[in-house]
Structure 1
Amino acid sequence: MDIRPLSPEFAVAPQIMPEDVALLAEQGFKTLIINRPDEENPPELSHEVFAKAAEENGMVAHYLPFYPGDMTPELVGAFEGCLDVAEKPCFAYCRSGTRSSHLWAMAQAGKMDVAEIIAAAEKAGYDHRPMAGLLAAYAEQKA
């Protein structure tokens, strides 16, 4: 499992396996956010399997599927709402971790400076420089 911290309270990773959920709980994660749509995985990796593993390990799971190229205002709002109420630290995954990191970046717009968001993503192995304009516009919209 390739855990990539974006902040002290949030990390992402490429696709994990159901048995990884116990390891996440052991590492202190309280909330699991599943951003990979079920249609991208075989049934044994469905969100229901991960939600059950999360419950068995004392975590809360949220299924917020992020289809490639489909970062809608509704999805961003749902993700922000999830982070607002989620017990921290949170862990999210998708195929590569990129979509989860994009949602985190949008949620941080207006809370963190855009350059800080981009630097945190870069440290975790994600290039969010192309999102700079979008992050700035979203931060301004939220202000």
Structure 2
Amino acid sequence: MALDARPLVDGLSVSPQVTEQDIRDAHEAGFRTIINNRPDGEEPGQLSSAQAAEIARSLGLTYVYQPATGPTLEQVADAFGHVLATSPGPVLAHCRSGTRCTILWALAEAKAGSRDSEAILRAAASAGYDLSAYAPLIARYTQSRAE
């Protein structure tokens, strides 16, 4: 199965859980940083962060393990935004389905402010992710930024 990298914006794509081959494919596709937003052990048989880091680093990729869960999304979003701003791109972020990464990007983007909430939701939808449940939170961040 081929790497399922879905572009959100220039320089950032998201993906469901990656395999060793997906990391190699990401390298071949030109990605320079991989962000893993999936906690280790979330599902039996998933590639561990230590294994993924070793593979990524052997290929010369920057690897960031930044696990996020529902209760930690807002806190991790700040760190996610920082990693995006300071890591070599393009960046591939992954979790179980790609949704968590998309939410993290949306919250970081709303806080940073280069897009309004509607543009953020459209970008997510164009990659196949419905963030309508997070629209009020995204709007709150974009509105507080404007004040």
Q: Judge same fold: TM > 0.5, yes or no.
A: yes
The one-character-per-residue Cα deviations of 1:84-122 (angstroms, maximum 9, x if unpaired) are 111111001111110011001111112211111111111
Q: Which residue of 2 aligns with 1:83?
A: 84
| Displaced runs of 4 or more, over 6 A | none
Q: Which residue of 1 aligns with 2:135?
A: 132
Work out which of the residue numbers 37, 40, 45 in structure 2 matches 1:38.
Answer: 40
Aligned residue type for 1:74: Q
Work out which of the residue numbers 7, 11, 14 in structure 1 matches 2:13.
Answer: 11
For 2:96 and 2:89, the matched residues in 1 are separated by 22
Q: CA deviation at 1:72?
A: 4.1
Aligned residue type for 2:92: F
- More divergent stretch after superposition (94-103 vs 80-89): 80-89
For 2:117 and 2:18, the matched residues in 1 are separated by 28
Q: In the superposition, relative to structure 1, how do residues 33 and 114 fare at CA in structure 2: closer, same or farther (>3 Å)?
A: same
Percent identity reads 40
Tell me, yes or no, if structure 1 residue 73 matches structure 2 residue 74. Answer: yes
TM-score by length of 1: 0.91
TM-score by length of 2: 0.89
The one-character-per-residue Cα deviations of 1:63-84 (angstroms, maximum 9, x if unpaired) are 11012x2234321111111111
Q: In the superposition, relative to structure 1, how do residues 73 and 118 fare at CA in structure 2: closer, same or farther (>3 Å)?
A: closer
For 1:75 and 1:12, the matched residues in 2 are separated by 16
Q: Which residue of 2 aligns with 1:54?
A: 56
Aligned residue type for 1:100: C
Aligned residue for 1:70, secondary structure, equals helix
For 2:116 and 2:50, the matched residues in 1 are separated by 36
Q: Which residue of 1 aligns with 2:94?
A: 93
